[in-house]
Chains A and B, each alone.
Chain A
């Protein structure tokens, strides 16, 4: 870990400011599960800090994390564990693309801001630490959704199957 930087995602305080309207799906494009996740992120809108090395940014469950969950974050994490490059983008609370490129026991991480800033940064990360952080984060979010009654424990486990399979290997 000595030559690598820290990667951290921390769920912080719940935001009680309501700036958005409740989620709607008039065209019924989303599944019942997806809608309940949207409602959960809207009702329990936690601020979340993302730290890569000395770079820190703040996002929110609604809509940033909700979008990640809808884009199948567990499968992305599983892909990363299998050596595939993945991109995680935040385009609402901030404009940031995080590209994670696995290289043996490390991950080459590129941060690219866009929009009103075009900062580019690069960090070497520890692969196991990154994977553990991502899995723990998904688990924490889904656990909150279970505790608050938006999804069942079985739904959480089913959603997390890609990373659970990875953990069993």
Chain B
């Protein structure tokens, strides 16, 4: 886990990362995928932990590879729009 100034997501099962890659659109961009089942937990800066989160955020690069992907809570949004 990185030292950071935002909540950190942790996968429960690394193979879900592969499933997220397959589920994500093939176009470059940042996406949220809801697995509809627990895939991870989120550690907050105040020391609390949110278990059983079902959503992950994932970014696909121009070349189709992934930049990152990690579980996020329901309050995580991609834009205000």
Contacts and interface: CB of A to CB of B under 8 A. Distances in A.
B4 A94 contact: yes
Contacts of A112: 79
A154 interface: no
Contact of A94 (B5, B76, B77, B79): B5
A126 interface: no
* Interface secondary structure of B, over-half rule: loop
B30 A114 contact: yes
B61 A71 contact: yes
* Interface secondary structure of A, over-half rule: loop
B14 to A, nearest CB: 11
B76 to A, nearest CB: 5
A3 B7 CA distance: 36
Interface of B: 1-7, 30, 57, 59, 61, 67-68, 72, 75-80
